[in-house]
Amino acid sequence: MKTELLKESGLRLRGQGKVVQVSNDQDRASWEQFVLGHPLASGYHALAWQSVVRRVFGHRIYALMAKDEDDAVRGVLPLILTDSPMFGRFLTSMAFLNYGGVLADDVAVSAALLSEAAEIARTVGASHIELRQSEPLESDWPMRSHKVSLRLALPPEYGVLFKAFPSKLRSQIKRAQKEGMEVRIGGDELLDDYYRVFSRCMRDLGTPVYEKGFFRAIVETFPKEVRLCVVFLHGRPLASGLLYGFRSRLEIPWAASDRKFSRLAPNMLLYSAVLEYACHEGYQEFDFGRSSIGDGSYRFKEQWGAKPHQLYWYYWLAEGRDMPQLNPHNPKYKAAITFWRRLPLPVANMLGPHIVKHLP
């Protein structure tokens, strides 16, 4: 399946090009080289993330790559097809992750990738495509700007950052330290402890949990880029987070804290330790992850000094379809969330992976 690249005067595109699906080692090498050289790339554009999703969840992947007449890569678009008995069939770039949408040299290349994505959606009978962009696209696709990522510029020394925290935040961090909590940062040796906290937190939020194998695959696939951070009290894990570093930015896409111990502030110690680690490792920015403006997670992240960065989610919609509302804020899911919170933890952990794989 391929689409001719659009011609547009003033752009660097010359003659006719094509959009292809990655199918061999040469394609994969070309894709990775383009991603590593593009200033707007996220780590989630790496093919390895698509491999993790395919291996763990079994979803079909469409790795679209635009080439010019000289066979040089000009843009990429990873798409994940979810075929859900509960929510229908749809494509996401990238499912389960914050970033990973269209990455292109110019608007003509971007348009060609979008055209090919729409053609795939029509062929497979998808209801919609959702693109998660960190920068705006020149496109007539409908767009939502309901999410932001909270990002914090980091100084070389953590002590400088700590002094800038509000006094209440510093007191909460010290409270956790006085309780004798211990922080460990490492790899798969912390996976069981990480997941113990994460799975309980997801149940308490009323959200189906990923299987532990998802996080194991991430840690194994990215041994240099990924770290697990866990806060312990007398050997019991109380808070945990998964860290992912790409270029000068460290991100925490998944974090959790046991609410039964919230008065002891283990989550504050978790983030303090993670920020100290980020400064020590030379990262220049910390990404707290996405939030809706003004909600509880937004206010939590804002207190650390993080600033909002607007995110742009674009949609292709099949004829007659409305914007999807697959999120916990949708009132139709309120009863399901309440029910899930009441499940025994072993039951939630057993059922959750069968449901969450069908959520974007």
Higher pLDDT, 336 or 180: 180
* CA 22, 106, 318, 323 torsion-angle sign: positive
Where in the sequence is the domain holding 34, given as residue range(s)?
18-145+312-324
One domain for residues 249 and 275: yes
Is residue 13 situated within a structural domain?
no
Residue 12 confidence (pLDDT) above 50: no
pLDDT tens, residue by residue, 216-246: 999 999 999 999 999 999 999 999 999 999 9
Whether residue 291 contacts residue 150, with contact meaning beta carbons closer than 8 Å, is answered with yes
- Domain membership of residue 330 (yes or no) is no
SS3 233: strand
| Chain mean position to CA 262 | 25
Residue 81 lies in a domain: yes
Which tens digit of pLDDT belongs to each residue from 107-157?
999 999 999 999 999 999 999 999 999 999 999 999 999 999 999 999 999
Considering the domain architecture, whether residues 91 and 184 belong to the same structural domain is answered as no
For the cut 70, the answer to whether the pLDDT of residue 16 exceeds it is no
Which CATH number goes with the domain that contains 109?
3.40.630.30
Exposure pattern of 200-212 as b/e (b: 16+ CB <10 Å)? bbbbbebbbbbbb
Instruction: State the CB neighbour count (10 A cutoff) for residue 219.
Output: 21
Torsion over CA: 298, 299, 301, 305 (sign): positive
Cβ-based neighbour number of residue 159 at 10 Å: 11
Specify whether 290 is located in the same domain as 200: yes
169 and 280 assigned to the same domain: yes
* pTM: predicted TM-score of the whole model, two decimal places: 0.91
Per residue in 324-352, pLDDT (tens digit) is 876 666 666 778 888 989 999 999 999 99
**Same domain flag for 306 and 318:** no
Give the model confidence (pLDDT) of 148-173 as tens digits. Answer: 999 999 999 999 999 999 999 999 99
At residue 326, the pLDDT reads 66
> Has residue 348 been placed in a domain?
no
Domain presence at residue 220: yes
350 within domain boundaries: no
Q: What distances in angstroms separate CA 327 from CA 16, 133, 216, one per listed residue?
A: 41, 18, 25
- Is residue 8 in some structural domain? no
Q: For 83-92, 213-222, 241-250, 254-263, which range has the lowest pLDDT when averaged over its residues?
A: 83-92
Domain count across the chain:
2
